[in-house]
Amino acid sequence: MSLVYALAIAVQMGCGVYLLLSRHVVRIVLGVVLLSAATNLLIFVAGGLVFTAPPVIVQGTQTLGAEAANPLPQALILTAIVIGFALVAFAAALVLKTYRAVGSVLTSGHTDAEALGSPFDAEATRNA
């Protein structure tokens, strides 16, 4: 079973990386979404997937049953999902803002900093 998990995680991450390498900013954002989803799954698998009962203490008992799933990675992933969402939302806002300011959705079109010239050239003119 773990090989299937490994395959799914690896494919998702590989696709995420491929998208991350794109010059289209939206593709980059989609790559981030895929990567964070795969990472969450990775943490989930790392916590061990032997038991499949929810980690809830059954009424009438006082401690978690032996057949319950590992609660710790679930807690970590829960916040990671929400944070990942906030991150992607911010990135999307940035994409929109950049497009409106620069007029391009390709990173090769975002050349405002390069247009200022090399910092070394600026220094040379100052010293001269």
Confirm or reject binding of residue 4 to another protein (CB under 8 A).
yes
How many residues bind another protein (CB under 8 A)? The answer is 96
Confirm or reject binding of residue 53 to another protein (CB under 8 A).
yes
Q: Which of 42, 70, 44, 46 has its CA nearest to residue 56?
A: 70
Q: Are 17 and 31 in contact (CB under 8 A)?
A: yes
| Site track 93-122 with another protein (rule: CB under 8 A), x = hit | xxxxx-xx-xxxxxxx-xx-xx---xxx--
Confirm or reject binding of residue 51 to another protein (CB under 8 A).
yes
Confirm or reject binding of residue 62 to another protein (CB under 8 A).
yes
Confirm or reject binding of residue 11 to another protein (CB under 8 A).
yes
Give the integer Cα–Cα distance in Å for 23 and 82.
26
Give the integer Cα–Cα distance in Å for 35 and 10.
10
Confirm or reject binding of residue 75 to another protein (CB under 8 A).
yes
Q: What's phi and psi for 24, nearest 5 deg? A: -85, 120
